[in-house]
Each structure stands twice: as C-alpha cells, then as structure tokens.
C-alpha cells in the first residue's frame, strides 16, 4: 500500500511483485517447516525412550529437557518466520490458510 502511494508503479507491476513476495514467503516457510518437523520427529523418536526411562529413574531434569526441545523448535520456526523473505505478505498467506481451514 505504501508503494502505491509513493510511486507511479502500474497495477500489473504491483501484482507481479505481490505474487513474487507470496511465492518467496511460502517457499521459505515450507522449507523451514519441513526442517523443523523432521527435527521434531527425530527428537520424538530418539528421546522418547530416554524420556520415559528418565521419568522412571526420577531424573526429571533430563525428561523435561526432552520435552522442551520440541518447544524450542517451534520458537525457532517463529524466529525464522520473522526473517523470511516476503514476510511483508505473511498476513495474506496466513489469512488464506485460516479461511480454507474454516471452510
């Protein structure tokens, strides 16, 4: 919107830039989510048994560490989203997904 007011860019050029930003953002976030989900799955598989074992042995600090590893991965994804190319249009992407999910 700011760009429309400050420049003499055509509507077609603005549409192309918006499409580019949307594609960049979605591509970046898709890759990051795959990385995070793969890492989370690996954490669950590799630490699940350790977590149960530590709970049985009353070693709660090690068991809690395993649980917090998953939360740290979600936080890392949120941090990456703030640095994502095209993040200016993240609201559009997230709104579209929300609308589709609500249908």
Distance between CA atoms of residues 8 and 34, nearest Å: 39
- Answer with the residue of higher pLDDT: 97 or 20: 20
Mean per-residue pLDDT of the chain: 78
Distance between CA atoms of residues 12 and 72, nearest Å: 41
pTM flag (> 0.95): no
> How much is the pLDDT for 102?
81
Q: Is-contact 69 43, C-beta < 8 A?
A: yes
> How much is the pLDDT for 18?
87
**Cα dihedral 43→45→48→49 (10° resolution):** -130
Distance between CA atoms of residues 17 and 86, nearest Å: 10
Each residue's pLDDT tens digit, 36-78: 878 767 666 666 566 666 666 666 666 567 667 777 888 888 8
DSSP 3-state of 7: coil
């Amino acid at each position: 919107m700011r760009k429309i007011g400050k420049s003499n860019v055509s509507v077609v050029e603005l549409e192309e830039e918006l499409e580019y930003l949307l594609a960049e953002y979605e591509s970046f976030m898709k890759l990051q989510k795959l990385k995070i989900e793969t890492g989370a799955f690996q954490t669950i598989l590799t630490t699940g048994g350790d977590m149960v074992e530590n709970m049985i042995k009353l070693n709660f600090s090690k068991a809690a560490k395993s649980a917090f590893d998953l939360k740290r991965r979600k936080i890392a994804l949120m941090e990456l989203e703030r640095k994502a190319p095209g993040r200016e249009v993240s609201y559009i992407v997230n709104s579209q997904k929300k609308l589709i999910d609500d249908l």
